[in-house]
Each structure stands twice: as structure tokens, then as C-alpha cells.
Structure 1
Amino acid sequence: MGRGWRGAAARRTCNPRGPCCRVAGDARRPSRPRLSRSLSRRLTVPETLPSVPWRGPRHGRRVGTDPRRGPQRRRFVTLAALLALTVSALSASAPFDLASSGSDVAVEVPDPAPVATPEPEPEVEAPLVVPAATPVRVLIPAIGVDAPIEVYTDAMVAAADGWIDPTTHDVVSWWQGGGTPSSDPDNTVYLYGHVSRLEAVFNYLHSVVPGTEVTVVTEAGEIVYVVQEVLEPVGKEALPDDPRINAQVPGRLVLIGCYREPDQGRRRTTHNIVVIAHQVDSAK
């Protein structure tokens, strides 16, 4: 019996979760009180417990339990309200939509620079075409000439033994055997006039200079010439053979008059004054 007790006292049980071993039935530790059977029956846990529906784990905290959501939440709501009021005021006062412009600064758009409109070039009237026609008048404003023109035919030249002698001192003779004034001439036009110690149409022909304008009026219009050259006095006998005078040059006008010396007096003239002009325009 003694051995059995010692064996029971010496038997140890090991608690795998504890740090050491405990002696079972150690006389030095009081034994755990035991319940009576009647009390055990009353305290018996029922085999089945009433079922409680599973609501899942709760997350977060209940409203009002977080101490950080008090004053900070009120400040956040206040700032959001102020920001909304500011945006509304800017939208009402801005000259254009902030959402579409992307800026809250009004920009003044400058007026476009005026574009210079080129002035139209003045229309230049094309010269009128003046067909060949008999000349009726000659004008040389620089020396006061405004005289009628008569036709001097080849028959009249032959009757005068090859000379051209205008019928009066105030008329200019047009030699019909030369060219006829026109916009498209084919020869030189020859006009002759008297020079006298009395009044005569070409008394001042010797005083013209290059650039002097001469207008010949015809039955079809006007032909304008400009003086190019004034020749030295040419002897009357040499004049028909002078190439400067008898050359056939289209658009040229040759004015011929007698040349008088300062002391000519009543003596016959022996030379001619010759003025050469060129056509520049068909005026009318």
C-alpha cells in the first residue's frame, strides 16, 4: 500500500504549455474543492445554446466616439463653405466663364491693326487712234502760232518751178507730196510758212528750242509733236538734196521758213530755217 501511494505521489504530469512540471496530488497544496452532485446538476450547461444571428465583425467606431472628428470636422465644413462662396462670387463678376477660360483674370483683347488698302491706280486712257487725214491747223504756243493750213499739191509745186510759196503770210502750207499726219504715219510731214520784215506766220520760228510742243490738228483729230532739233540756216538751193531734210522718216514733222539776217532789209532771202520735231502722242 505504501508503494502504491509513493507511486501515485511520485507520478508527474507534464503540462506542455507550462515552463515546468507540477507534482500531482502534492500534500503541500490544498486540494481544489469539489461540488456536490446536486449543485453540479443545477449548474450543468445545456448541450444546445440559443442561436444568435451572425452580423459580422464591426468596423470603425460609432459616430461621436472618435475625438478627432469633432472640431476638425467643423473647421473643414466652414472652409468648404467659404471656398464655394468665393468661386460663386468670381463666376458672377468675371467677364467670361472660368470653366471655359481656365483663368480668373480678365484679358482685354486688342483691336486688330487696320489693314492699309492700296489705292487703285489711276486709269490711263489709251491714245485714240487718229487715221490719216488732211491737216487743217497748226499750233505752236511758245511762239504764238495758231494758223490755218492750206493744201499745196504737186501741181502747184510744178507751176512754181519746184518751189513752195504759201499764198499768204498768215497761212501755213502742207505739201501733199509728203506724209499725212496720223497715229500710224508712213512718212515725214512738211509744213511751210513765210518770214517777213512785216507780219508773217513763221517770223519767230528761229527762236524755238528743243522740247517745244507743236500740235497739228487734222480732220480726224490731233497729233502732238515735240521739237528735237533746230538746224543752222540751210541754203535754198541745197535744201532739196539735204538728207537731214528729205529723208522719209515716219512720225517726223519738218517746219521750214525763210531765214532773214538782222540787216536783211528788202533783199531777197537766200537761206531757210529748218525745225525738226517728232510725234509723241495722239491727243484726241
Structure 2
Amino acid sequence: MAHQQPSQPNSPRIAPGSGLFSRRLMWPAGAFLLGTLLVYNSIDTPADPKPQQSRPGAAAAARPGAAARSIPALPQSVPKRLMIPEIAVDAPFTPLSIGASGQLNAPPGENKNLVGWFQGGATPGERGASIVAGHVDTKTGPAVFMQLSSLKKGSKIDITRADGIVATFKVDAVETFSKAQFPNDRVYADTPDAQLRVITCGGAYNRAAKDYESNVVVFAHLAATARK
């Protein structure tokens, strides 16, 4: 989400299609796979999200009391590392962009310990909803977000930024949504404070489609900042 100071944040939008976030927010079928099942044939399927411009304040925060609980947002700075001690995550970031097809590219499938952030929107800690995604497993085994769905309300997510600030987010909710009815507006709506969305795949695995049927979304807000 590296974008210009939140005057015109972009947010991914989803169009019908196939793949990990197929039909709504879906990355390749092998991009984020929940649990012990592995995907062997669909890792190169493109993602489906499409960008949409939104103006600050155009949509309400996705969680009640967001503005009251969040601290002031930070200036733009790209993320460098994600740490979630509760599930033993310590991973570098790679930027994600919209491909030539108009779909959001997924993180490289060959690196199991890598997370992506949508560079067309807010950087983590900036005002707006920053989007982070990563694999749950790959062809070779479990990956960075294998245990993402086990996070609870109050869990902490630390993101180290290029400016040396560690932005700590507190989880508000962890929810699983059917890909057929993915709530685009709720996940991608512009927000009046600094929020975070962490997305992976979940639900039942459809062997015929080589795809999971749902997405796990972690909703979090900026709770603290510290200089590294």
C-alpha cells in the first residue's frame, strides 16, 4: 500500500473469477491454504482483486469505536518485516501490485516465509486500511500464515517500517468469509484511522476446483508505535 499520503488511497476490489480469492478477494489457489492440505497444481493462477479509488472519509470504519481506540496515524513508510509472536511469524515483506490483467498479483509461491502488502493503498500505520497477505502453505509444505486463523481478539501484530518505527496493531476480530460472498466493502472500505487487514485462505478445500472455499481475514487497528 505504498501510496501518497492518504489523500487518494486505493483499495483492492474483487471481480468474479477463479483462484485463491476466487469470485471475490481471491489470490491463486495455492497462495493461502489453511491447515495441513496442500495445493499442488494451481499456484500460478492469477489473483482477482481490482483497484478502486476512494476518498478519505468516504466509508465508515469497519469496527465500532475505531477512532476512539486508535492512536494517531503515521506518515507513509513501506513495511519491512512482520512479526506475530503468538503464531511464530517473523517474515519480510514484498510489495504486491495489480498485474496486466487488472488482477492483484500474489506473493511468490516458492518462498514460504514471505508476506505481501498491497502497494496501491495505505502503508501499515498510515490512515486507511492496509492490506497484507501471505501463503498458508505451498507445494512443499506449511507456510507463513498456516496458523493465522488461530489469532484472537487482542492478539498483537508488529510491523517494522522503513522509517524505523514499529507499528503495533491489536486484533479486533478474525473472521472467515465464503469466497462467493466476500464482503468487499467491509474489508476494503476507507477508514478514518490506521487499520490493518491480514488475509489468507481458509474453509473447506475443494479438490475438484483445487481451491479453498473461504478466506480468513484478520481485522486490526493501530494500537502503539515505537522507534526501533
Q: TM-score range by the shorter chain?
A: 0.5 to 0.7
Cα offset, 1:281, TM superposition: 1.2
Deviation at 1:265, TM superposition (A): 6.5
User: Match for residue 33 of structure 1?
Assistant: none
Residue of structure 2 equivalent to 1:83: none
Tell me what 1:245 maps to. Answer: 187
Query: Which residue of the other structure, out of 69, 72, 81, is the alignment partner of 1:137?
Result: 81
Higher RCO structure, 1 or 2 (CA under 8 Å, sep 6+):
2
Deviation at 1:147, TM superposition (A): 0.6
- CA shift, 1:219, in A, is 0.4
Match of 2:56 in 1: none
Secondary structure of the equivalent of 1:225? strand
Is residue 222 of structure 2 the alignment partner of residue 279 of structure 1? yes
CA RMSD of aligned residues (A): 2.5
Unaligned ranges ≥5, structure 1: 1-126
For 2:168 and 2:185, locate their aligned partners in 1 and report how far apart those are by CA, in whole Å.
24
Residues 1:192 and 2:136 are matched in the alignment: no
Letter in 2 for 1:246: Y
CA offset at residue 181 of structure 1? 2.5
Structure 1 residues 115-142: Cα deviation after superposition (integer angstroms, max 9, x where no partner): xxxxxxxxxxxx9995421101100000
Partners of 2:115 and 2:201 in 1: CA distance: 13
TM-score (norm. length: structure 1): 0.48
The structure carrying a bigger helix percent of its residues is 1
Q: 2:167 pairs with 223, 232, 246, which one?
A: 223
Residues 245 and 128 of structure 1: is their aligned pair in 2 closer, same or farther, counting only changes over 3 Å? closer
After TM superposition, give the deviation of residue 216 of structure 1 in Å. 0.6
Amino-acid identity (%) = 28
Residue number in structure 2 paired with 1:256:
199
More strand by share: 2
Give the paired residue count.
Answer: 150
DSSP-derived class of the 1:188 partner: strand
Answer with 1 or 2: which has the greater Rg. 1
1:165 aligns with 2:141: no
Structure 2's unaligned 5+ residue stretches are: 1-70
CA contact under 8 A between 2:206 and 2:213: conserved in structure 1?
no
Where does 1:1-284 land on structure 2 (aligned, <5 Å)?
A: 131-153=75-97, 157-159=98-100, 161-168=102-109, 169-182=112-125, 185-196=126-137, 198-220=141-163, 221-231=165-175, 233-239=176-182, 242-249=184-191, 250-261=193-204, 267-284=210-227
Residue 43 of structure 2 corresponds to none
Taking structure 2 as the reference length, the TM-score comes to: 0.59
